[in-house]
């Protein structure tokens, strides 16, 4: 990575080289500073030096610093081309910048200079972008609106952390000069939220979406059903939500999304360029459904609602025809609400379903998903059945998972099943950081920041062709998590690491460099009101 040249001036290089490096930096920054380029963990506040172009998460594919910085002033315009989509990204950027700068920042098709968003043909792919910054302006170029949106997230991180505050701040608002060319390594960069073990309101989900967008996450996987709660209204089976959604872990009131609520989540996610992937977990993890409709049980008796945290005790009745009427109705209604391409059918921990039944069930259910125009995703146990053509499997094993289980997944991958990697002892955001973490679980061990960042999706599972890996996902299970503050404490600072594994070229992977960039996010989270775990592995700036 070209930008690594700049970073190398920090740290272990001899003093003279370091001095020279700072001098070069100052020159590159148009001599606007007194040589006080921020140290590795230096706060962005209180110094006039712009944030270096390579101090961004996820690390951009290529960085070429140089030339004068651009200064956002009260005269800056956000210039868009005529398309509605570009205007929408421009309006989003204006919403980010106006409260803290206090500037008008009109979004307009007219004028020169300023911050320009343009769609153009180029080597950007569906999500990549180029950022050019110099004295007269900043230009973001992309082939698709998603690329412009991701470019806007980069631009945000190039401004001082105070830009994230919601009251007027002094500035100055400088963007370092140079060029970033950026495009993601993987098309799937997901985050899963379990809204079943504890229910989260539409506003809480939207808040999480906004946080995911900061790091270019592009999939929101919603775990909508489990033993403890059914969270989506289904007209043909109304008690699923009204009764099956009426509690949660610990016995609280639970809740569910009306169809209008769900559409609002989908709409908000789309406005942040995230695709919603709904999950109905089957045939296990179904107590809430079984409690709502006695006829779904093999013995015709509805069990009570469940508010504990055990897994593996429930199963739909594989031998009953009504089970498939139920699945058909649920999938049909959910597919109709979901513009995204995927529907997740769970399939994990079906310990109460005999293997033969599990295979039979998946053989019946996968075609139903296809019938309603969606692509199947399942947890990796699906590879123990016959994954449909084009299906994806989400791997959630550990370093210690048996070679046999890993080989089953690898074989499916060699036969065409795409993989999403969510290793529990790396990417599970509900694992405790250490023994003192007040929230979370520890069945997969403790997962500190370095452990969650320091692995390579491209070579993680032996025997898997690189092309089978479609990306990564960070699940957030909520047995112990009840509100946004809890979610944020577990997701930050680990989520950005998983996002970087999904976005950045493997060549940029470097823990020592990453922890410095991560430290620079702390003041941003403070400004945004995001409470996070102050991991001792990260050199957070002093207050």
The contact set with ligand TNX (CB under 6 A) reads 311, 348-349, 379, 396, 428, 430, 441, 477, 479
State the nearest-atom distance from the C-beta of 10 to ligand TNX, in Å. 37
User: For residues 351 and 414, which CB has a smaller minimum distance to ligand TNX in the complex?
Assistant: 351
How many alpha carbons lie under 13 Å from residue 380 in its C-beta half-sphere? 25
DSSP secondary structure letter of residue 257: B
Helix (H) or strand (E) run with residue 117 in it: strand 114-119
Exposure class string for 386-404: b at 16+ Cβ within 10 A, else e: ebbeebbbbbbbeeebeee
CA dihedral 356, 358, 364, 366 (to 10 degrees): -130
Kindly name the residue from 144, 204, 264, 349 that is annotated as catalytic: 349
State the nearest-atom distance from the C-beta of 441 to ligand TNX, in Å. 5
**In this structure, which long-range contacts are made by residues 403-406, counting pairs with CB atoms below 8 Å and at least 24 apart in sequence?**
406/461, 406/462, 406/463
Cβ neighbours of 458 (radius 10 Å): 15
State the nearest-atom distance from the C-beta of 515 to ligand TNX, in Å. 26
Name beta bridge partners: 192. Answer: 221, 475
Give the Cα separation of 293 and 262 in Å (integer): 23
State the nearest-atom distance from the C-beta of 357 to ligand TNX, in Å. 19
How many alpha carbons lie under 13 Å from residue 145 in its C-beta half-sphere? 19
Q: Are 97 and 70 in contact (CB under 8 A)?
A: no
State the nearest-atom distance from the C-beta of 368 to ligand TNX, in Å. 21
246: Cβ contacts below 8 Å, ≥ 6 apart: 229, 253, 254, 305
Q: Are 225 and 232 in contact (CB under 8 A)?
A: yes
Coil vs helix vs strand at 316:
coil
Whose tokens are 């998903």? That residue is 369
State the nearest-atom distance from the C-beta of 425 to ligand TNX, in Å. 11
442: Cβ contacts below 8 Å, ≥ 6 apart: 431, 432
What would you report as the CA-atom Rg of the chain, rounded to the nearest whole angstrom?
24
Coil vs helix vs strand at 189:
strand
State the nearest-atom distance from the C-beta of 135 to ligand TNX, in Å. 51
DSSP secondary structure letter of residue 178: E
Catalytic: 85? no
What do you get for the CA distance between the two ends of the chain, in Å?
31
61: Cβ contacts below 8 Å, ≥ 6 apart: 1, 128, 181, 182, 183, 504, 505, 508
Q: Are 83 and 117 in contact (CB under 8 A)?
A: no
State the nearest-atom distance from the C-beta of 347 to ligand TNX, in Å. 8
State the nearest-atom distance from the C-beta of 25 to ligand TNX, in Å. 44
User: For residues 127 and 479, which CB has a smaller minimum distance to ligand TNX in the complex?
Assistant: 479
User: For residues 76 and 314, which CB has a smaller minimum distance to ligand TNX in the complex?
Assistant: 314
Active-site residues, by number, are 349
């Amino acid at each position: 990575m070209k930008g690594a040249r700049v970073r190398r001036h920090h740290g272990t290089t001899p003093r003279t080289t370091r001095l020279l490096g700072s001098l070069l930096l100052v020159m590159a920054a148009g001599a606007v500073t007194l040589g006080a380029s921020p140290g590795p963990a230096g706060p962005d506040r209180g110094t006039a030096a712009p944030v270096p172009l390579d101090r961004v998460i996820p690390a951009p594919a290529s960085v070429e610093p140089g030339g004068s910085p651009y200064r956002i002033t009260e005269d800056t315009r956000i210039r868009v081309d005529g398309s509605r989509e570009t205007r929408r990204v421009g309006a989003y950027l204006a919403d980010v910048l106006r409260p803290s700068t206090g500037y008008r920042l009109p979004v307009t098709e007219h004028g020169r200079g300023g911050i320009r968003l343009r769609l153009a043909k180029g080597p950007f792919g569906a999500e990549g972008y180029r950022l050019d910054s110099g004295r007269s302006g900043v230009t973001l170029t992309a082939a698709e609106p998603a690329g412009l949106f991701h470019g806007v997230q980069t631009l945000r991180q190039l401004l001082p952390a105070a830009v994230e505050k919601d009251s007027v701040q002094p500035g100055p608002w400088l963007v370092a000069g140079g060029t970033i060319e950026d495009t993601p390594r993987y098309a799937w960069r997901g985050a899963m939220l379990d809204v079943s073990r504890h229910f989260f309101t539409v506003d809480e989900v939207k808040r999480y979406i906004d946080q995911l967008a900061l790091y270019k996450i592009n999939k929101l996987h919603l775990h909508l059903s489990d033993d403890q709660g059914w969270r989506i209204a289904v007209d043909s089976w109304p008690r699923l939500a009204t009764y099956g959604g009426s509690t949660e872990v610990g016995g609280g009131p639970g809740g569910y999304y009306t169809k209008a609520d769900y559409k609002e989540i989908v709409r908000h996610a789309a406005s942040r360029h995230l695709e919603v992937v709904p999950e109905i977990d089957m045939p296990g993890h179904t107590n809430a459904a079984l409690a709502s409709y006695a006829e779904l049980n093999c013995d015709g008796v509805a069990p009570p609602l469940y508010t504990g945290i055990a897994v593996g005790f429930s199963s739909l009745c594989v031998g009953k025809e009504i089970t498939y009427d139920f699945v058909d109705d649920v999938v049909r209604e959910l597919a109709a609400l979901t513009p995204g391409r995927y529907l997740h059918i769970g399939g994990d921990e079906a310990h109460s379903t005999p293997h033969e039944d599990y295979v039979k069930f998946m053989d019946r259910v996968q075609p139903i998903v296809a019938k309603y125009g969606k692509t199947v995703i399942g947890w990796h146990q699906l590879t123990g059945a016959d994954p449909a053509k084009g299906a994806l499997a989400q791997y959630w094993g550990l370093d210690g998972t048996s070679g046999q289980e890993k080989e089953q997944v690898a074989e499916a991958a060699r036969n065409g099943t795409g993989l999403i990697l969510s290793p529990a002892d790396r990417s599970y955001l509900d694992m405790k950081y250490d023994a003192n973490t007040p929230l979370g679980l520890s069945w997969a061990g403790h997962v500190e920041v370095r452990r969650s960042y320091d692995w390579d999706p491209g070579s993680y599972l032996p025997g898997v062709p690189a092309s089978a890996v479609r990306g990564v996902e960070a699940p957030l299970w909520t047995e112990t998590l009840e509100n946004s503050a809890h979610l944020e404490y577990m997701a930050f600072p680990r989520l950005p690491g998983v996002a970087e594994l999904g976005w950045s070229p493997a060549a940029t992977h470097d823990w020592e460099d990453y922890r410095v960039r991560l430290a620079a996010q702390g003041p941003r989270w403070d400004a945004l009101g995001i409470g996070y775990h102050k991991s001792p592995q990260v050199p957070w700036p002093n207050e």
